[in-house]
Structure 1
Amino acid sequence: MSEDPFFGLSEDSTWNACIGQQGDELHYIEGYLEAASELANAIIVKNMLAKRDTLVLPILYNARHAIELVLKYVTGQLFDCGVIPQRHPANHDIKGHWDHMVAADFADEAIRNHLKALERFVVSLDRIDDDGQELRYHVNRDGETSLKGESLANIVVIRDSLKELSSVIDGLMHRTIDFVVERKAGTHTSRCSRADLREIAGMMPPLAEWSSEAFTVAKNTVKERFALSNTQFSKAIDAIKTNREFYGIIGGETDLPYLLDDEVVLVVEQWRILHPDREGQEPEVVHGSRFRSADLIANIKKRRECVDALSGTITSHEAADLEALFYLGRGDFFPEQFDERAATYLQSIGDDEELRARTGRLLDKTNLIACLERGTRRAGRLALAERLGTPPAEQVEAQAADDVQTKQ
């Protein structure tokens, strides 16, 4: 046993916890909030009546500290990415930190809503402990009894409120993480975040109806919900139109740098030849006893033939676009980065041998069609996405025959 009573390690590493350089800032927020919830649940579940008066204090303090930490975390993240001009002074005034964030009026509806939901918890704990002292010490800095204005607190009420608080903090924390990532994509206005713009695009009618009353109705609804002026609304629409994904949401089509729709369809046709049993099915687990060298040789031959069939059609530029579509559909990057990613993939295709190898590796992907369909939709090729989502003619005929057989 180590001489250090708290930071010594035993031979059994089962209960080793990561702290310090192996820890994470979010662990502090989650840890204090989870501690409060676990203590409140334990008192009730284990009927620990004798411990109500002692444990209620660390329960409430942990909840307060979790709020303080999440407010400081969000402020720091938004300051670091340039959304707010300054941090709040480093103190324990949770109401002051909350007011500072609300006053910033962030260009993100979800963050504003999460802060609004957090308000009643902040107000409640600030009322009894405005500097983080009353819940920690029996006597405050003024020499008076802490919490002298309170007499009772109900553990069940606290437990239930902690469940709601956990949901609010989790939402605020993770929306902030997403917001910072989205900010790097560059799609936003002074009033709308990327997520807001996506929501606005979904609220607008198709482009074909923008000269009708439907557009005016949608415009007024959007302006009211997001508190936008006419100028701010126009800037939001301009941002939507220049975004591949959002322009597609309102029915607009955006060309790919080099790849044509028919060329993508040709690739999919060869994929179906190479994977005739994969369509709409989970990959089959092949046991060693069922594996035959003849099958492997046949598969290699078929793969070579499929790559050969595309060699005269898919150039290095088109292969780069195709690869970008696949990884866009897999969710590896934002549609705004499509052209940059395609250019990067193009630089890594040095010669015809590498081109064939890359084409073959794409054809090997069992999720190729699913990712291409999602990728083309996010890239603004709506008509192509619909084509990829339509099963081949022979599959439709086979399904029709199955339906007839089932009815008989």
Structure 2
Amino acid sequence: MNFNSIFSPEDSDGLNACVGGDNIHDFYSYAEGYFNAANYLCDKVISERLTGDLDIVIFPILYSVRHGIELALKSHLSNLRDCGINITDGDIHGHDIDTLWSCLKEKTPRAPIFIEIISSIDHLITEIAQLDPTAQEFRYPVRKDNNQIIPDRKVINYLALQSSITELTSQLKCFLNASECYVEEHKTETRTKELSREQLSELSDLLPNRDTWGNDDSDFLIKKSEFIDKYD
């Protein structure tokens, strides 16, 4: 099949996208693309007050957000599997966000940054999962069983939606960056099973000099107890 009508860089003023034939695209980059597309479209509707399109473009916006979430969760689960955590193909496949999110919360190490971000976005991901559990609601006017999509009328405010998109994408990007760091620490063996490289560095700064640990006036046991209480 000839795709010259699409893949034609001539006289394009440098506006060429690179797709296929490389390894730069992964779950992470795909997720970022869907989040960015949703935000750009939402911003255009708001800034240009495209009131005639409000009820039309809402679905591609919501679908892009939903699919970005799905890809972001799969990206993190894939990273965990690379670190030897028991993640199966079945855990990563499928489109049910609630199932993916539950698996992620169960399998993710209890590092402070993961705990904090999961807690901060749990309500947003749960809400999207409830609105579109099977990746049909925002793509089609009817489900496979011919029942109406979102049968009860709902009103979505674009300003509130954009705020949620901004918060969600920002937190998920931080989450995936932390996920990538976790993989790197695993590969370089610069972490333990329980503590990240950052926490180990904090511990080394917190504890007194090794030569003083056995001294009667050493606060080693106090500092050790404080650290355990913080990260237990």
* Shared fold (TM-score, shorter chain, > 0.5): yes
Residue deviations 1:203-254, cap 9 Å, x none? 4455476455744443333223322xxxxxxxxxxxxxxxxxxxxxxxxxxx
Task: Give the C-alpha shift of residue 176 in structure 1.
Answer: 1.4
What are the equivalent positions in structure 2 for 1:107-146 lying under 5 Å apart? Answer: 108-146=111-149
**What does residue 52 of structure 2 align with?**
50
Question: Within 5 A, what are the aligned runs for 1:255-274?
Answer: none
For 1:96 and 1:79, the matched residues in 2 are separated by: 17
How far apart are 1:130 and its partner, in Å? 0.6
Separation in 2 of the partners of 1:85 and 1:68? 16
1:9 equivalent in alignment to 2:12: no
State the SS of the aligned residue for 1:144: coil
**Matching residue of 2:25:** 24
How is 1:80-159 mapped onto 2 (pairs within 5 angstroms)?
80-87=82-89, 88-106=91-109, 108-159=111-162
1:3-402 mapped onto 2 (5 Å cutoff): 4-12=4-12, 14-22=14-22, 23-25=24-26, 26-87=28-89, 88-106=91-109, 108-207=111-210, 210=213, 214-227=219-232
Letter in 2 for 1:221: E
2:77–2:104 contact (8 Å) kept in structure 1: yes
Identity of aligned residues (%): 26
The AA in structure 2 aligned to 1:29 is: A
Note the alpha carbon deviations across 1:163-197, whole angstroms, 9 max, x for none: 11121111011111122112122133222222332
Give the aligned residue type for 2:149.
S
Distance across 1 between alignment mates of 2:143 and 2:218:
63
Tell me, in whole angstroms, the C-alpha distance in 1 between the residues paired with 2:121 and 2:86: 19
Q: CA deviation digits over 1:265-321, x for unaligned, max 9?
A: xxxxxxxxxxxxxxxxxxxxxxxxxxxxxxxxxxxxxxxxxxxxxxxxxxxxxxxxx
> Structure 1, unaligned stretches of length 5 or more?
228-408
Q: In 1, are the aligned partners of 2:190 and 2:197 still within 8 Å (CA)? A: yes
How many residues align structurally?
226
The 1-side partners of 2:46 and 2:152 are apart by 25
Aligned equivalents of 1:174, 1:72: Cα separation in 2: 14
Cα RMSD between the aligned structures? 2.4
Query: Greater relative contact order (Cα 8 A, min sep 6): structure 1 or 2?
Result: 2
**Deviation at residue 11 of structure 1 after TM alignment:** 3.7
Distance 1:98 1:179 in 2: 19
Q: Which runs of 5+ in 2 are unaligned?
A: none
Distance (whole Å) between structure 2 residues aligned to residue 199 and residue 95 of structure 1: 35
The structure with the larger Rg is 1
Instruction: Return the structure number with greater helix share.
Output: 1
The alpha-carbon distance between structure 1 residues 222 and 11, as it changes in their structure 2 partners (threshold 3 A), is: same
Alpha-carbon spacing, 1:93–1:27, altered in 2? closer, same or farther (3 Å)? same
Distance of 1:217 and 1:157 partners within structure 2 = 47
- Tell me the SS of whatever aligns to 1:184: helix
Q: Tell me, what secondary structure is at the counterpart of 1:120?
A: helix
- Read off the aligned partner of 1:131 and give its amino acid letter: T
Distance 1:85 1:66, change over 3 A: closer
User: In 2, distance between residues paired with 1:93 and 1:3?
Assistant: 33
Q: 3-state SS of the aligned residue for 1:171?
A: helix
Partner amino acid, structure 2, of 1:222: F
Q: Is the Cα contact below 8 Å between 1:109 and 1:196 reproduced in 2?
A: no
For 1:39 and 1:205, locate their aligned partners in 2 and report how far apart those are by CA, in whole Å: 54
Structure 1 Cα separation of the partners of residues 63 and 203 of structure 2? 40
- Does the Cα contact within 8 Å between 1:107 and 1:190 map onto a contact in 2? no
Task: Work out the CA distance in 1 between the residues paired with 2:159 and 2:181.
Answer: 33
Q: What code does the residue aligned with 1:78 have?
A: L
Q: Cα 1:203–1:134, aligned 2, differ >3 Å: closer, same or farther?
A: farther
